[in-house]
Chain A
Amino acid sequence: MISLSLKETEKSSECSIDAVLAAVCPSIIKDFLMKMAPEQRNQVQELRLRQDRPLSILLDQRECFLTVKGEPTFDPLAGYYITKTDIDRVFQSITRNSVYALEEELRNGYVTIAGGHRIGFTGEAVVVGGKVKNLKNISCLNIRIGREVKGCADKVLPWIINRQNNAVMHTLIISPPKCGKTTLLRDIIRQLSNGIPKLGFPGVNVGVVDERSELASCYMGLPQKEIGIRSDVLDKCPKAEGMYMLVRSMSPQVIATDEIGRREDVAAVQEVLNAGIKLITSVHGTNPEDIKRRPVMGEIMDMQLFERLVVLGRSQGVGTLEEVIDGTTGRSLFQRR
Chain B
Amino acid sequence: MRPIIKITASLLIIMSCGMAGLIMAHSYASRPDQLKALIYALKMLETEIAYTLTPLPEALFRVGKRVGGEIGEFFISVGTQLSHENAPICGEVWDYSLAGLKESTCLTTGDLGILRNFGNNLGLSDREDQIKNLKLTQEQLNNHLYSAEKLREKNQRMWRTVGFLAGLAVVFILY
Which A residues fall within an 8 A CB radius of B?
Answer: 22-24, 27, 88-89, 92-93, 95-101, 103, 106, 133-134, 136
Contact = CB atoms under 8 A, between A and B. Distances in A.
B86 A97 contact: no
Given A92-B124, A97-B124, 17 more contacts: A23-B87, A89-B87, A89-B89, A93-B87, A95-B123, A96-B87, A97-B55, A97-B57, A98-B56, A98-B59, A98-B123, A99-B125, A100-B49, A100-B125, A100-B130, A101-B56, A134-B126
Nearest to B86: A27
A97 B126 contact: no
Interface in B28-63: 49, 53-57, 59
Nearest to A100: B127
Given A22-B85, A134-B126, A97 B53 contact: no
Contacts of B124: 92, 97, 99
Interface in B66-103: 82, 85-87, 89-90
Contacts of A89: 87, 89
A315 to B, nearest CB: 42
Contacts of A99: 123-126
B123 A100 contact: yes
B122 interface: yes
A144 B123 CA distance: 25
A106 B128 CA distance: 14
A103 B90 contact: no
Given A96-B57, A96-B82, A97-B122, A103 B127 contact: yes
Contacts of B54: 98, 101
A101 B55 contact: yes
A196 B85 CA distance: 40
Interface residues of A: mostly helix, strand, loop or mixed?
A: helix
Contact of A97 (B82, B85, B127, B129): B82
Contacts of B126: 99-100, 103, 106, 133-134
Nearest to B59: A98
In order of increasing CB-CB distance, the 7 nearest A-B pairs are A93-B87, A97-B123, A97-B90, A98-B55, A100-B127, A98-B56, A101-B53
Nearest to A23: B87
B89 A97 contact: yes
Interface in B104-154: 122-127, 129-130
Interface of B: 49, 53-57, 59, 82, 85-87, 89-90, 122-127, 129-130
Given A103-B126, A103-B127, A134-B126, A96 B55 contact: yes
B3 to A, nearest CB: 67
A95 B56 CA distance: 9
Nearest to B131: A100
A173 to B, nearest CB: 36
A261 B92 CA distance: 47
A11 B19 CA distance: 65
Contacts of A134: 126
A103 B53 CA distance: 10
B161 to A, nearest CB: 48
Contacts of A95: 123
Nearest to A26: B87
Contacts of B56: 96-98, 101
Contacts of A23: 87
Nearest to B124: A99
Contact of B87 (A92, A106, A133): A92
A49 to B, nearest CB: 15
A134 B82 CA distance: 24
Contacts of B122: 97
A106 B127 CA distance: 12
Nearest to B130: A100
A281 to B, nearest CB: 32
A92 B130 contact: no
A95 B89 CA distance: 11
B141 to A, nearest CB: 21
Nearest to A104: B53
B157 to A, nearest CB: 44
A93 B57 CA distance: 12
A129 B124 CA distance: 23
A98 B126 CA distance: 9
Nearest to A135: B126
B46 to A, nearest CB: 11
A103 B129 CA distance: 12
27 contacts: A22-B85, A23-B87, A88-B89, A89-B87, A92-B87, A92-B124, A93-B87, A95-B123, A96-B57, A96-B82, A96-B87, A97-B90, A97-B123, A97-B124, A98-B57, A98-B59, A98-B123, A99-B123, A99-B124, A99-B126, A100-B49, A100-B125, A100-B129, A100-B130, A101-B55, A101-B56, A106-B126
